[in-house]
Amino acid sequence: MNILRLAPASIGDVKTGHNIDHHLAQGSEAGIIDKIIIAAKSKIEEYKAQARNERDTEQVLLMDDSMLKDIGLSPTDNDSLKSGLISLGDLNARKETYPRQFN
């Protein structure tokens, strides 16, 4: 803790009636709390994205061959997805890169 920072705060406290905690909360501790909040929100968004991806993958795995063909996938793609060799995001990226192969 910075002693020079506390000294003026202590002197000011006598005149204004504020306590030292008020001054510290406006400094570095407030920045730490903001960083913790941002990190927590980021982690929550990661969990939500992972849950969406898992749900979407499960839905694709439940499709029959004709439904897979309708969305441009083959049973082999479904098997690769099921075994974890490829992700749904990778399949979608491959479809966008090589659209003629999937029609």
Average the pLDDT over 29-54 and give the result: 91
Q: Which residue has the higher pLDDT, 66 or 72?
A: 66
What tokens appear for 1 in the block? 């803790």
| Residue 5 clears pLDDT 70, i.e. is over it | no
Rounded Cα distance, 66 and 63, in Å: 8
> According to the 3-state scheme, what is the secondary structure of 50-81?
HHHHHHHHHHHHCCCHHHHHHCCCCHHHHHHH
Taking only the tens place, the pLDDT of each residue in 80-103 is 998 889 988 898 888 888 776 655
Residue 68 near residue 78 (C-beta atoms within 8 A): yes
Residue carrying the six token digits 């506390």: 6
